């Protein structure tokens, strides 16, 4: 069983447990549930940098990235740096995150927040909305076309944008549908964990122009973004490159200044 298979198995158990404790109606009564979402897609289209910064404490491949900083501090730093939005890892077991991180980031910022999670159930979309998210991530590798269609349609009905993540052409071809806002190409091979920007380059022309193109993983150099912009990418998810520093916000600000220069 791969690490991704283990994560999904555990996630389904976790969601079932959360459902038994907190029914959907509980989250629908949240003050944040009626909040109007901010559009990340719109920001990416008008941005000169396209940076989506991430808050991530750890990962299965790296046990400790940065656990010393508060999510509030990171979120404020990113917003002041001028990033387009922030990705917040909410998985606890494998990434050290939580839905509380999303609420804390929302309490101190106005920019778009992505709930980065392994979404397997509509219940998680309601949770995302109730905790201040503006958009959600769907991962094609763990969902059927029918599940992608169902989850993306429900997400948009809740006012949430949808970023669909693919790793290869097969996943992309099964995923293209009107209920998506952004198509993200993850440059990390899920089997070997090797990262190659060639994945984004190869899939670029296969992504219809109506979707915002986002490149994910392995974005650590200015030259990488400059290159990928030539392939039509408008969004760039930067995770560990900022979080592994003592000041992710300052690192993001310096990176954006260099990119614009």
Q: Give catalytic status of residue 116 as yes or no.
A: yes
Catalytic annotation, pick one of 117, 165, 240, 253:
165
The total number of structural domains in the chain stands at 1
The CA distance from 174 to 144, in Å, is: 8
Q: Give catalytic status of residue 173 as yes or no.
A: no
Q: Give catalytic status of residue 206 as yes or no.
A: no
User: Is the pLDDT at 170 greater than 90, yes or no?
Assistant: yes
Catalytic annotation, pick one of 161, 213, 217, 240:
217
Catalytic annotation, pick one of 11, 47, 54, 175:
54
Catalytic annotation, pick one of 56, 127, 161, 215:
56
Catalytic annotation, pick one of 59, 66, 175, 186:
186
Percent share of the chain, pLDDT over 90? 89
Confidence of residue 95 (pLDDT cuts 50, 70, 90): very high
Where residue 252 sits, what CATH number does that domain have? 3.20.20.70
Which pTM does this prediction carry?
A: 0.96
Do residues 187 and 203 touch, judged by C-beta distance below 8 A?
Answer: no
Do residues 44 and 182 touch, judged by C-beta distance below 8 A?
Answer: yes
Q: Give catalytic status of residue 56 as yes or no.
A: yes
Catalytic annotation, pick one of 11, 49, 79, 116:
116
Q: Give catalytic status of residue 54 as yes or no.
A: yes
For the chain, the three-class secondary structure string (H helix, E strand, C coil) is: CCHHHHHHHHHHHHHHHHHHHCCHHHHHCCHHHHCCCCCHHHHHHHCCCCEEEEECCCECCECCCCCCCCHHHHHHHHHHHCCCEEEEECCCCCCCCCHHHHHHHHHHCCCCEEEECCCCCHHHHHHHHHCCCCEEEEEHHHCCHHHHHHHHHHHHHCCCEEEEEECCHHHHHHHCCCCCCEEEEECECCCCCCECCHHHHHHHCCCCCCCEEEEECCCCCHHHHHHHHCCCCCEEEECHHHHCCCCHHHHHHHHHHHHHC
**101-127 pLDDT per residue, tens:** 999 999 999 999 999 999 999 999 999
The CA distance from 181 to 46, in Å, is: 15
**31-55 pLDDT per residue, tens:** 999 999 999 999 999 999 999 999 9
Identify the domain containing residue 150 by its residue range: 3-260
Other C-beta atoms within 10 Å of 132: how many?
Answer: 23
Catalytic annotation, pick one of 79, 117, 171, 216:
216
């Amino acid at each position: 069983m791969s690490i991704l298979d283990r994560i999904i198995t555990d996630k389904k158990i976790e969601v079932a447990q959360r459902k038994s404790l907190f029914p959907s109606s509980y989250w629908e009564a949240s003050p944040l549930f009626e909040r109007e979402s901010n559009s990340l897609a719109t920001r990416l289209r008008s941005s000169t940098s396209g940076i989506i910064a991430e808050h991530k404490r750890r990962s299965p491949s790296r046990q400790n990235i940065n656990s010393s900083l508060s999510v509030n501090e990171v979120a404020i730093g990113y917003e002041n740096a001028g990033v387009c939005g922030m990705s917040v890892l909410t998985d606890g077991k494998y990434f050290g995150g939580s839905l509380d991180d999303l609420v804390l980031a929302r309490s101190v910022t106005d920019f778009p927040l992505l709930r980065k999670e392994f979404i397997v159930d509509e219940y998680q979309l309601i949770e995302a909305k109730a905790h201040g998210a503006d958009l959600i991530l769907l991962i094609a590798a763990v969902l059927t076309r029918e599940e992608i269609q169902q989850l993306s349609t429900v997400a948009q009905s809740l006012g949430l944008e949808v970023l669909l993540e693919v790793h290869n052409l097969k996943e992309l071809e099964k995923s293209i549908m009107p209920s998506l806002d952004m198509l993200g190409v993850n440059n990390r091979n899920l089997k070997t964990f090797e990262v190659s920007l060639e994945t984004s380059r190869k899939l670029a022309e296969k992504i219809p122009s109506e979707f915002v193109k986002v490149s994910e993983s392995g974005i650590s150099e200015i030259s990488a973004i400059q290159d990928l912009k030539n392939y039509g990418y408008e969004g760039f998810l930067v995770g560990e490159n900022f979080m592994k520093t003592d000041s992710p916000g300052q690192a993001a600000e310096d990176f954006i200044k260099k990119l614009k220069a």
